[in-house]
Homo-oligomer: A and B are copies of this chain.
């Protein structure tokens, strides 16, 4: 059976985005620094049609993150467009050729028709995290479902016991505030460490979520 997977870059103090997120600054103050290890990689650049980039100990981790994913679920914040009813003008942060190349399910309180940009179709789900996962599983088939964030979405899926694999890419950055992974979660969440990988400017720690 396919897995539900989270792979997320976090600051040393546990934030996945910095304070004061906005349309101008979607990752919040300092939030971009959490992803620097990733966008420097050749594996990331190739997946986004760019040349060059680094090959290092993060490369096999990044390749594993991107492999065998059949669908992604994301929150409204990651798709963007601010709160409230949709404006059809807003087609996401991700441009005309979004980097997902697979079905994406966007959690929202406001209905909207599906949006197809290049080979990515965004489906807007208003029923909550469980119906979104049902749809994503069906779209993914034998492949895995990736929970793409933000922190609130990941925390909801963790709290509901619906995540199988959780990998943290821990970077040597202190954000001091923002969107915190694990916020509101309790000791009922049982983790088993699968592996840890030292890489330049980041440590990858992979857990299996047991309950």
Which residues of A6-62 are within 8 A (CB) of B?
Answer: 12-14, 18, 29-30
Whether A13 touches B193, Cβ cut-off 8 Å, given contacts A170-B205, A205-B203, is no
| Nearest 5 pairs of A and B residues by beta carbon | A13-B182, A196-B198, A176-B186, A172-B191, A196-B203
Report whether A207 and B14 are in contact in the complex, using a CB–CB cutoff of 8 Å: no
| Copies in the assembly, this chain | 2
Bound-state CA distance A192–B12 (Å) is: 11
12 A-B residue contacts at CB 8 Å?
A: A12-B182, A29-B187, A170-B170, A172-B191, A174-B191, A175-B187, A193-B201, A193-B202, A193-B203, A195-B198, A196-B203, A198-B198
A188 to B30, CA, bound (A): 11
**Smallest beta-carbon distance A163→chain B, Å:** 12
What is the size, in residues, of chain A's interface with B at 8 Å between Cβ atoms? 35
The smallest C-beta distance from A9 to any residue of chain B, in angstroms, reads 13
Contact (Cβ within 8 A) A207 B172:
yes
User: A198 — which chain B residues lie within 8 A by C-beta?
Assistant: 195-198
CB of A204, distance to nearest CB on chain B (Å): 9
Cα separation A176 to B202 with both chains bound (whole Å): 24
The winner among A18, A175, A182, A187 for most chain B CB atoms within 10 A is: A187
A155 to B204, CA, bound (A): 24
A29 to B177, CA, bound (A): 25
A153 located at the interface, meaning its Cβ lies under 8 Å from any Cβ of chain B in the complex: no
Whether A193 lies near B174 (C-beta < 8 A) is no
